[in-house]
Copies of this chain bind each other. A is one copy, B any other.
Amino acid sequence: MSFVSESQPGVCLTPDAVTQDYVFNHTMLRVKDPERSLDFYTRVLGMRLLRKVDFPEAKFSLLFLAMTKGGEVPDETSARMSHTFSRESVLELTHNWGTESDDSQYHNGNKDPRGFGHICFSVPDIEAACVRFEALGVPFVKRLDKGMKHVAFIADPDAYWIEIVQADLLGNLGQ
């Protein structure tokens, strides 16, 4: 059992034991058009839609996606919902009804005012993945041949940035 934590100002090396059952479950992004976003995240990135939940009175829907890798996911709705909130690395997309046909646009966080930057997918072969994204017509924010080596950025249908990396090429990143 390896207790890994680099010592840096602010780091607590002995967190309360109760925290060790906490799970970093999901990241939420608002999307304009769920059909376009579902196409992108399922067809281009291979995610599965675990659950769509509608709130008709407040006029919004939530879409929960994850890479399931063929793992067991309960078929029964309530159990699947509990599973969705128990696991790691879920992407929650919020659709406020009507945005798909108005002229609103969401903010990707990378121009002022900045904040959120990107989500990241790690791939086994970044050259092959980028060739595939090009063939699928996915827009690039940064191609492999520009700037930082071994790192690409693509954009989703709302222009949110998605970093693409290959883990075994990043062992010497930075200092």
Assess whether A81 is in contact with B170, with CB atoms less than 8 Å apart. Answer: yes
A127 at interface, CB cutoff 8 A:
no
Once A54-B174, A109-B109 are accepted as A-B contacts, the answer to whether A42 and B2 lie under 8 Å apart by CB is: no
Contact A8 B122 (CB under 8 A): no
Per-residue CB contact flags for chain A residues 3-24 toward chain B (1 = under 8 Å, else 0) read 1111011111101101111111
Q: Which bucket holds chain A's interface residue count?
A: 35 or more
| A149 interface residue per 8 A CB criterion | no
Q: In angstroms, how far is the closest chain B Cβ from the Cβ of A55?
A: 5
Q: In the complex where A94-B117, A122-B86 touch, is A72 in contact with B30 (Cβ < 8 A)? A: no
The answer, among B72, B171, B174, for a CB contact under 8 Å with A2, is B72
A114–B115 CA distance with the chains assembled, in angstroms: 11
- Given the known inter-chain contacts A29-B115, A109-B116, please indicate yes or no for A38 contacting B24, CB distance below 8 A: no
In the assembly, how many copies of this chain are there?
Answer: 2
A36 to chain B, nearest CB (A): 7
- Known A10-B37, A170-B85; contact A22-B121, beta-carbon cutoff 8 A: yes
**Is there contact, CB below 8 Å, between B81 and A173?**
yes
The residue that A123 contacts in the complex, of B22, B51, B81, with Cβ under 8 A, is B22
Chain B hits for A173, CB < 8 A: 53, 81
The 8 A CB mask of A92-120 against B (1 = contact, 0 = none) is 10100000000000111100011111111
Least CB distance, A132 to chain B, in whole angstroms: 7
A69 to B36, Cβ gap below 8 A?
Answer: no
> Can you spell out 12 A-B residue pairs with CB atoms less than 8 angstroms apart?
A1-B72, A9-B38, A19-B45, A23-B122, A25-B122, A26-B163, A28-B116, A53-B173, A78-B172, A89-B89, A94-B117, A115-B160
